[in-house]
Amino acid sequence: MKPSKKHHPQLRRNEITAVYADRSGNIREADGLLALGRIGMQHIRLTPDDLIPLPESADLMFMPDHAAVGENVLGQEQSVEGTAVAAILPQGYTRTHLPAFHRGHDAAALPLYGYTAVVSYRGQLHAAAVYTDENEKWDPGNYNGKELKKLVRRTMKDLPHNRIVEQVGNCSLQYHCLTAQNLFYRRWECGVPTSPVCNANCLGCISLQSSECCPSPQERITFAPTAEEIAEVGIYHLSLAPDGIISFGQGCEGEPSLAADRIAAGIQKIRAVTPRGQINMNSNAGFPAGMRKIVDAGLDSLRVSMISAREESYDAYYRASYKLDDVKTSIRYALDHGVYVSLNLLHFPGFTDRAEELEAWQDFFRALPVHMIQMRNLNIDPTLFLQTMPTAAGDPVGTRVFIDTLHTEFPQLVIGSFSHYVTGSL
């Protein structure tokens, strides 16, 4: 995509130019202003090494009441009379810089998206990001096909009166959830929501938000599926799907370990019928008693959502009824019982890569040798997030240094973005 030029550009071809949205919604170059990116609260001039061409499947989003910012020829920050623009990246890309902006005094909280710096470089739009994983199974082109409604009706006919099927059918067609759609495509990883309740009140929860934030992008389930409903969906999917995975702990539910009795019974019923495929759970891992039941029932893999390995930072974001030590207890039990454990690491430039956060992660991985980190761009208003989290004790080292440091010390640790099919390889 090429940004429009309001005037003849004064910058040299190889310089990186700030962009903005005009009142008509057109993306334009800010003539005479070099592009800046944001790490935490600090604006930094971007270099070519910070940039990748904007991925084809990325989206562009305006940031209402946030003015775009660039650097003028005097080296000073300068607001643009236009709205800041962000790239929303597909999975597989980890952002390194937020968009540079000046927030309006009365600006409302931004919706829950992963705002990424987008600029003009050599006449094309680029994003500040690194490529962290490749998995064609999650290519958006594999989803939302014209046949999807027909496939949803087929599965509803095969599994009538199953509330999980009804829920993920709605998630597929209304929210375009990829793991929900895989049930109807009969392939890969299929979401199986189970829990209407949670033991945390995450600042960036996508299914239930407190009044101080912003509307959730989807609704949480309002029912508790039975073990029979869980088993029915699990047997159906794992018996039919190549590289089949069923996953508890979806965006439309709370914490699955709180449904441990029903999930454990469901797993046992599934494994009494078929040994095929992989049974996974996405969890905050804050309820060790429930985790033990599910692991003992035959869980194959576990992905734990974490934003920090420091108790102060963890508590500020999750606002939970449990402690970080409970999470560590659950992970230790899963590792000791042969479960493949990955972390869903919620990444925010200028927070995740603070020196004290990196040091805490190094201590964490020395004590708990999990198998993988899945980097996730944290979907949240940047200002709200930084106002909530503890004040930095050290300067950020940068996203690339953060990843490279972990790679160097823990070469066995896979750092990517997607769940991997692991049954039979543990």
**Model confidence over 201-224: pLDDT tens digits?**
999 886 554 444 444 455 778 999
Q: Cβ–Cβ contacts within 10 Å for residue 362, how many?
A: 15
Closest CA to 227 of 300, 164, 183, 278: 164
Indicate the average pLDDT of the chain.
Answer: 92
Four-CA torsion 408, 410, 412, 416, nearest 10 degrees: -80
pLDDT at 251: 79
pLDDT digits (tens, 9 = 90+) for 25-55: 999 999 999 999 999 999 999 999 999 999 9
**Average pLDDT value for residue range 57-82:** 95
Report the alpha-carbon distance of residue 367 to residue 40 in Å, rounded. Answer: 29
* β-strand partners of 42: 39
User: What are the helix (H) ranges across 83-128?
Assistant: none
Highest mean pLDDT pick, 132-141, 208-217, 417-426 = 132-141
Report the alpha-carbon distance of residue 207 to residue 175 in Å, rounded. Answer: 12
pLDDT digits (tens, 9 = 90+) for 232-269: 999 999 999 999 999 999 878 999 999 999 999 999 99
Report the alpha-carbon distance of residue 302 to residue 338 in Å, rounded. Answer: 11
Confidence label for 3 from pLDDT (cuts 50, 70 and 90): low
pLDDT digits (tens, 9 = 90+) for 266-281: 999 999 999 999 999 9
* 307-324 burial: b if 16+ Cβ within 10 Å, else e: bbbbeebbebbbebebeb
The predicted model scores a pTM of: 0.92
Task: For residue 425, give Cα distances in angstroms to 20, 241, 337, 338, 366.
Answer: 48, 19, 14, 11, 23
Task: State how far Cα 71 lies from the chain centre.
Answer: 31
pLDDT at 424: 53
Report the alpha-carbon distance of residue 295 to residue 289 in Å, rounded. Answer: 10
Size of the chain in residues: 426
pLDDT digits (tens, 9 = 90+) for 83-110: 999 999 998 999 999 999 999 999 999 9
Give yes or no for residue 226 having a pLDDT over 70. yes
Give yes or no for residue 337 having a pLDDT over 50. yes
Report the alpha-carbon distance of residue 101 to residue 85 in Å, rounded. Answer: 9
Written as one letter, the residue type at 317 is: Y
Confidence label for 113 from pLDDT (cuts 50, 70 and 90): very high
Q: What tokens were used for 178?
A: 């990829």
Give yes or no for residue 1 having a pLDDT over 60. no
Q: Is 170 helix (H, G, I), strand (E, B) or coil?
A: helix
Give yes or no for residue 6 having a pLDDT over 80. no
pLDDT at 8: 36
Cα end-to-end distance, the chain, whole Å: 43
pLDDT at 193: 94
User: If you write DSSP's letter for every residue of 315-369 in order, what string do you get?
Assistant: HHHH--SS-HHHHHHHHHHHHHTT-EEEEEEEE-TTTTTBHHHHHHHHHHHHHS-
Domains of the chain: 16-131 (no CATH), 136-416 (3.20.20.70)
pLDDT at 280: 97
- The answer to whether residues 343 and 313 touch, using CB atoms and an 8 Å cutoff, is no
Closest CA to 127 of 231, 52, 183: 52
Report the alpha-carbon distance of residue 67 to residue 286 in Å, rounded. Answer: 40
* Angle CA 378–380–385, to nearest 5: 100
**Average pLDDT value for residue range 59-65:** 96
* β-strand partners of 339: none
Closest CA to 239 of 183, 282, 165: 183
pLDDT at 47: 96
pLDDT digits (tens, 9 = 90+) for 361-380: 999 999 999 999 999 999 99
Give yes or no for residue 414 having a pLDDT over 80. yes
Closest CA to 71 of 39, 100, 103: 100
Give yes or no for residue 13 having a pLDDT over 80. no
- The answer to whether residues 8 and 81 touch, using CB atoms and an 8 Å cutoff, is no
Backbone φ/ψ region at 338: left (φ over 0), alpha (ψ -120 to 50), beta: left
pLDDT digits (tens, 9 = 90+) for 293-321: 999 999 999 999 999 999 999 999 999 99
Q: Cβ–Cβ contacts within 10 Å for residue 242, how many?
A: 10
**Average pLDDT value for residue range 384-399:** 94
* 403-418 burial: b if 16+ Cβ within 10 Å, else e: bebbeeebeebebbbb
Strands 59-71 and 77-88: antiparallel
Exposed/middle/buried for residue 254 (C-beta within 10 Å: 0-12, 13-18, 19+): buried
Q: Which residue has the higher pLDDT, 250 or 426?
A: 250
* 27-41 burial: b if 16+ Cβ within 10 Å, else e: bbbbbbbbbbbbbbe
Give yes or no for residue 2 having a pLDDT over 60. no
pLDDT at 420: 79
pLDDT at 9: 41
